[in-house]
Amino acid sequence: MLEGKLSDRPEIGKYSSMIVRQVDRLSQLIQGLLMLETPAPAMEPLNIHRVLNDVILLAQTEARGRNVEIATAFDPSLPEVRGNQDQLQQLFLNLLKNAVAACPESRGRITVTTRMENRFYVETASERVRYLLVDVEDNGPGLDEETRQRMFTPFFSRREGGTGLGLSIAYNIATAHKGRIHAENSDNGGARLRVQLPVTETRRTAARGDAS
């Protein structure tokens, strides 16, 4: 006859908790692998600040748990982007989670900034496309060259327990939106991840032979 009940053994609770964590980790890994093949998203005009505010709200619990402050510096005059709300939320949530993990505990700070990209535009035979910028900047240790070069590669991670899929998914979503994403070190020593997304407003160029 077994002595005592299984439920009375503290090891059972410990191992059960461990199993649940591993199941959650594997579930997240599978979801991440599926999202690497990002399907062509259904697009609609979106206010980028509504997307970002929803994402910041979702990230606040984890940020507060590490005593990380999330600040914003939004340009209220930005035009809408043409995008998929669910995918853009996933993109920026992945960036914020990465930034929270990079911040020092108890004095971390993340700044999310938006503005128009005024340095360049894309011009084709029929239109000129402008871009807006979203910067997610942390006050962590910054990026070494290998990390900067490989951080959007699937399964590359410097973080213990990281799957290396979050930033790869963000990269694929940005690409699916005909946008761009890259990383750099900021002036404060932390990392800055910059997303460039095309806006819905495009200016038609004059056709050949038209009066200017």
Whether 196 is covered by a domain: the verdict is: yes
Task: State the total domains in the chain.
Answer: 1
Q: Which helix (H) or strand (E) holds 205?
A: none
Whether 57 is covered by a domain: the verdict is: yes
Predicted confidence pLDDT, tens digits, the chain (212 residues): 444 454 455 656 655 665 655 555 555 555 555 555 656 678 899 999 999 999 999 999 999 999 999 999 999 999 999 999 988 999 999 999 999 999 998 889 999 999 998 887 777 777 778 999 999 999 999 999 988 888 888 876 766 656 678 898 899 899 989 999 999 999 888 999 999 999 976 555 444 444 44
Phi/psi for 186 (5° steps) reads: -90, 170
Q: Which of 21, 12, 31, 5 has the alpha carbon at shortest distance from 169? A: 31
Q: In whole angstroms, give the CA distance from residue 195 to residue 100.
A: 17
Whether 101 is covered by a domain: the verdict is: yes
Whether 8 is covered by a domain: the verdict is: no
Whether 2 is covered by a domain: the verdict is: no
Q: In whole angstroms, give the CA distance from residue 89 to residue 48.
A: 10
CATH code where residue 190 lies: 3.30.565.10
Whether 16 is covered by a domain: the verdict is: no
Whether 13 is covered by a domain: the verdict is: no
In 3-state terms, what secondary structure has residue 119?
Answer: coil
Domain assignment of residue 132, given as a range = 38-204
Whether 70 is covered by a domain: the verdict is: yes
pLDDT tens profile 24-46: 555 555 555 555 565 667 889 99
pTM confidence score:
0.76
**Tokens 């599926």 appear where?**
34
The number of angstroms, rounded, from the C-alpha of 20 to the middle of its chain's C-alpha atoms is 26
